[in-house]
A and B are shown apart, each in its own frame.
Chain A
Amino acid sequence: MHKLELPSYLEQSDEVRDRFTRLKQRPVLLEVKGLGKTFDSAHGPVIALNEISFKTHRREFVCVIGPSGCGKSTLIRILAGLEPPSSGRVLLDGKAVHGPGPDRGMVFQGYTLFPWLTVKKNVMFGLEMAGRGKMAAEEEAMQWIDLVGLSKFAKSYPHQLSGGMKQRVAIARALANQPRILLMDEPFGALDAQTRARMQAYLLEIWQNIDITILFITHDLDEAIYLADRILVLRAHPGEVDELIEVPVPQPRSPGQFLSPEFLATKKRLEELIHPPQAEAQDNGDHLNMMRMVSVNDEVESVF
């Protein structure tokens, strides 16, 4: 394979550098300080997260990526307040958060729409919890449903929708509460490739037009680079921050950038971090025990 000449992922065009300078001048929305999480297992305590610290600015799009077992799901669950941290603090707008709340919207990987409610009632759920009147909630909900392009399905039940549509409703439901930050835990992981690409485009469009900060977990490198301003790379065992990468691909993003030098350079860097050469597989002895199992007089001798 011939070597592709790529610039360093650290190289930024003036435009991009300027944007990051401005981004970092925005107020800090989410601050994570020395966050740690230890689980008790049968084989003694397991450190899932160790000393995680980072800052997210307003209207920033952050992706969290890392190898399996790096605790990225645990991290987002702590941020959402669904699990308490063992140590450290989470500050939202400078105030410590305790337990789940409507200021942090969440979209899960599994479809968590309430199956007994129509699309409209699903989106109204949070608004009603916030004490909004039925009429007002309904009106507001319809706006959000319209935003994700599902007005025609307002009266449908979740089981009548496709996977992509369900996640759009889930996004609308989370946004309707007008949270400070939208936490997304591999939201498109269960979707097929085409639907996922479409959903990514929708999400970027929504993000560009609404005052929302997004923290997005994924294991898909392309997805992370395509969506994020900055990528938080975690390392496994224990889960620690490896690097916070400023994505040098200029905004606004389009699928045409997938093959741009900046994109590929970033991807190369992520590959190095997440699949370091001769890591994982050899280390833990997890490999196939392969021998040749083709009959001697087989007509196809080799696949090459």
Chain B
Amino acid sequence: MSSLQWFAVRKELRPRTRLATAFMSFVLPLLVWSLVSYVPWIWHPKVEVIDPGGVSYFTRDMLVDREVFDAELATAREEHRALPTGRPANPIYLPAPHQVARAFYKAFTTEPKRHSEKWLHESLWESIQVIFWGFFLSSLFGVPLGILAGTYDFVSRLFEPFVEFFRYLPAPAFGALAVAILGIYHAPKIAIIFIGTFFQQVLVIANTTRKLDPSLLEAAQTLGAKNIALLFRVVIPGIVTDLYKDMRILLGWAWTYLIVAELIGTSSGITWFITQQARYKNFDNVFAAIMMIGILGLTTDLLLAWLGRRIFPWQKAAANL
């Protein structure tokens, strides 16, 4: 297949090429990461000391800047002391893929350092609960309000200007307030996710509702549908597929508020794990945890996309995802 076909404007690739390309979208970043990690002459601004030789302050496995190492090596050579040896290394904050992979596995199997601390899966579960409740409560109010605002001009005028104003207020700014009102445990975190999601949700869903083809409403009216029936039999089923897509995107936004939310009050969940591991300089664990969030998010989204195709059989399959 020539590259010309790869860049045909708005033409779908062949199924096999599509799959391979999608696979590449993960392989490419991994490749870059591997190159930087494993090819000694790419980057590697540090030197890991193997043998300190005659340099008094060097110890085994110590990371020093390359310039410092080179200077010490030169000095040692001049003064005829034992020469230090080392190998190029990356800074501690960029672990290699295999280290992160090992950490990924070990993070689940390692017992917490202190008895009161939580296992990783427990921390993750805590985070999932916070996300769930924040998103659930937001949707409980946001979805009906959005649909009503998109359907009735009165509701739109009454709520949307304020919502529009409020959505510019950064959710984390309410952290202190949330703690003062709701205490230090899960409640304020759920509140932050709620604030971060709700106002966007109302506007996005109101817009989706407005995009419903008005001729469907007219057709329904000529068939005898009145106000309430129009809302429940036409508006809601008419937008439900787009609404579902909106919800998937909004759930992604909720995840982005998670880290900030969990720093409020007593740090908890996956954020607690990340900050704790960063403190111990276990950056392989930090990467593993960040990736876990990504994997969790992507898996949920793929699952929801698949579920969507089951629930809404009238959707053309290609329009999904």
Contact = CB atoms under 8 A, between A and B. Distances in A.
17 contacts: A81-B222, A108-B219, A110-B215, A112-B215, A112-B216, A112-B219, A114-B219, A114-B237, A115-B314, A116-B240, A116-B312, A116-B314, A117-B237, A117-B314, A129-B226, A130-B224, A170-B219
Given A116-B237, A125-B233, A104 B312 contact: no
A180 to B, nearest CB: 12
Nearest to A131: B224
Contacts of B215: 108, 110, 112
Contact of A126 (B213, B224, B313): B224
A102 B240 contact: no
Contacts of B226: 129
Interface in A87-101: 99-101
Nearest to A100: B221
Contact of B314 (A100, A101, A159): A159
B216 A114 contact: yes
A99 B226 CA distance: 11
Contacts of A110: 213, 215
Given A101-B224, A126-B223, A157 B313 contact: yes
Interface in A158-172: 158-159, 170
Contact of B221 (A82, A159, A173): A82
A106 interface: yes
Contacts of A105: 222-223
Contacts of A159: 314, 316
Given A114-B234, A129-B223, A130-B224, A100 B218 contact: yes
Contact of B225 (A112, A129, A183): A129
B184 interface: no
A177 interface: yes
A80 interface: yes
B220 interface: yes
A115 B234 CA distance: 10
Q: Chain A interface residue count: which class?
A: 20 to 34
B252 interface: no
Contact of B218 (A112, A173, A174): A112
Contacts of A106: 218-219, 222
Interface in B200-243: 213, 215-216, 218-226, 229, 233-234, 237-238, 240-241
Nearest to B234: A114
Contacts of B312: 116
Interface in B233-266: 233-234, 237-238, 240-241
Contact of A116 (B222, B224, B238, B316): B238
Contacts of B241: 116
Interface in A132-187: 157-159, 170, 173-174, 177, 183
A185 to B, nearest CB: 10
A217 to B, nearest CB: 15
Contacts of A130: 224
Contact of A114 (B222, B224, B238, B316): B238
Nearest to A128: B233
B224 A177 contact: yes
A24 to B, nearest CB: 28
